[in-house]
Structure 1
Amino acid sequence: MTDKELFYDELLEAMHENPLFEGASFVEREIPKNNGIWEGIEIHVPKCTVAPIISPDRMYDLRRPDESIRSLAERLADDIGKEIYRENEIVAKQFSSLMRQEKDFPLGAAVVSYEANKEWLKDLPYERIEDLAIYPKMYVAPDASIRITSSLLSEIHMTKEEVLKEAKKNTAKNMVFKNLEEILFSDVVERDGDPEITSALMPSSTESPMFVLTNKERHDGAAMIACPEVLQTVHELMGDDYYILPSSVHEVLIVPKHIPLLLEDMQKTVRQINEESVEPIDRLSDNVYEFDGRNLKIAGTITEEREKLPGISRESRHIR
């Protein structure tokens, strides 16, 4: 074990032992950077809205001459804890200032893998959808949002049920549903800037059996699958039951069931894309989902009749 590898373990242990991190959860992450992958630790301290990701590998360079690895770990653990509380206090003051403006800041929804994020989800109001979790966020600027934690619910005078309902309702209003080729064409035009040349090179949009479901910003757009009205609208537009392939937390692909594609091949494609093309922090799931006009479920599973999304089926009962 190298000194840096030893420091990683020692820092993690030092934070677990430090009173500043009482009740905290630590999620190990792979963070893609221009010069490779960083091994990071995402820190969630109870009642703190700030959840930084630190890189022990980079922090090792702060080691002083003749300082032991254990001493370095304990010193930095203390510094990290104090910085989290300092930043959280700043954010709390900024949030209170925003609330005093008596403006209505719009809510939105985001969806993530439950298993990969369950530690920090404990501090948020969230709802399970199969192996996923939907949670609310508040837009404090056109390009800036904060997660709504359980402790913030009293600040905005809403219950868990109310904030999730409002977040999903607002999310549905920003629905974007386009053919995959049309999305690809738009991306190429945006990159290259010449629509005439690009149009000549791109195939017709009618040639793709796949569609993209996202939002106008194409950020956290996969949350559309948590909105019953969106799933129903897509079902009506397709005129068929359909599969949902999770491209990332930002968008999903829709494939109508009349298209002759094997479920096994789609599952393999999703796993391959996740491994090769999607940054770990943006991965949603390795599963393929299906929607039959009433229920959303993991494709290929046999389940009893149930309501997977509130508002879709009155007869079925909800099972957690």
Structure 2
Amino acid sequence: MRKVNKTNREVDGLNMLDIPGLKNATPTLYVNDLYEKYEKTGDYEEVARMAAETMEYGIKSFNSQIKEECLDTSKLKDKVFFSLINAEQNRKLLNTVPHREFEDLAIVYRWNIGAGSDGGYTNLVDNDLAKKEGFTENDLYNAANKNTKELFPVLVKNMNEFISEIIFGDSELSGEMEEEFKEVMMETQDERSMYVITNESKLFGAASMLYEEPLHELAEKIGSDLYILPSSIHEVIAVSADFGSPDEWAEMVYEINMDQVDINDRLSNQVYCYDKDLRTLRLATDTINKSLDDVDRGAISTPEREGR
């Protein structure tokens, strides 16, 4: 058993050592998640079964999907990428990892180990790994600045188009019906539309807002500055700065964070402003609701996958 500093919270990790048939990994069960499941269901046997299935899947999938050469830390420079987390919420974690702060956020570095059948295997680069490979924080920043947009190309899409693709991704509806629905969805004028900013994998995509060029292109298209709403560590939402006030948007972000976003995925309760003329991104609010670990009301967990 060990304390583990995960994004936005400290949890109890149960490490499984010397698992027969498992090479190059140490599976971890997070006891907090199991207990929360038990609190909701009261079914101990089901929770134990869920833990066993998680372990079994982790062992089988890691061995089958991750090649040994992917775990070669000497290749870290080619595989490191950006992710964003909340700085104040993660002070303990930041003491253990190379990072740099950006407004109320922190840029941290992850190691892209490989892709699995239902997502990606990544590891947070800690001080020990950076020291082992001889990288300074600036080395990691420069490498990640190049790698992130190549490994995870930035994706900017109208929210309505984004929703339409989710609805019709595997749809068997007629082409005519689909086109009619899309026309209705896309009737909102650009200056009143919401835009999702993420990456093509939709994994740690909030870091895409660190790239200024896509923000500038969107601002030019809309014809105004942008407010950036941090919907999760995986994506942010952009709206015209002529549409609503930053404090009103921040109130909405806070409510959605507390009601709908799992604590592991929350990024910030603040709102940012992109100035298209100065080409800068800065905080637009200073809300008193800075803490991300308020009562978690009905959030749906989307656990992060990590290879160790």
TM-score (normalizing by structure 2)? 0.64
Identify which of structures 1 and 2 has the higher relative contact order when contacts are C-alpha pairs closer than 8 Å and 6+ apart. Answer: 2
Partner of 1:160: 137
Q: CA deviation at 1:220?
A: 0.6
Partner of 1:67: none
Q: Given the alignment, which residue of 162, 168, 172 partners 1:183? A: 162
- 2:252 matched to 1:282? no
Cα gap change, 1:276/1:100 in structure 2, threshold over 3 Å: closer, same or farther?
A: closer
Question: What is the alpha-carbon distance in structure 2 between the residues aligned to residue 28 and residue 222 of structure 1?
Answer: 14
Provide the alpha-carbon RMSD of the alignment.
3.8
Q: Partner letter of residue 284 of structure 2?
A: A
Which residues in structure 2 correspond to 1:108-257 (within 5 Å)? Answer: 108-142=81-115, 143-173=120-150, 174-190=153-169, 192-194=171-173, 196=175, 197-202=177-182, 203-207=184-188, 209-257=193-241
Question: What is the alpha-carbon distance in structure 2 between the residues aligned to residue 26 and residue 149 of structure 1?
Answer: 11
Cα gap change, 1:233/1:152 in structure 2, threshold over 3 Å: closer, same or farther?
A: farther
Give the greater-gyration-radius structure (CA): 1
Determine what percentage of the aligned residue pairs are the same residue.
Answer: 24
Total equivalences in the alignment: 238
CA contact (8 A) 1:188 1:198 kept: no
TM-score (normalizing by structure 1)? 0.62
Q: Give 5+ residue unaligned stretches, structure 2.
A: 15-25, 39-66, 287-308
CA contact (8 A) 2:232 2:261 kept: yes
Any idea what the Cα deviations from partners look like across 1:48-97, whole Å, max 9, x if unmatched?
Answer: x98863239749x9xxxxxxxxxxxxxxxxxxxxxxxxxxxxxxxx9898
Q: Give 5+ residue unaligned stretches, structure 1.
A: 1-14, 16-20, 31-39, 62-93, 302-320
Cα gap change, 1:225/1:117 in structure 2, threshold over 3 Å: closer, same or farther?
A: same
Cα gap change, 1:119/1:300 in structure 2, threshold over 3 Å: closer, same or farther?
A: closer
The DSSP-based 3-state class of the residue aligned with 2:250 is helix
Any idea what the Cα deviations from partners look like across 1:175-208, whole Å, max 9, x if unmatched?
Answer: 1011111101111112645473344334242515
Partner of 2:294: none
Question: What is the alpha-carbon distance in structure 2 between the residues aligned to residue 159 and residue 95 of structure 1?
Answer: 26
Q: CA deviation at 1:103?
A: 8.5
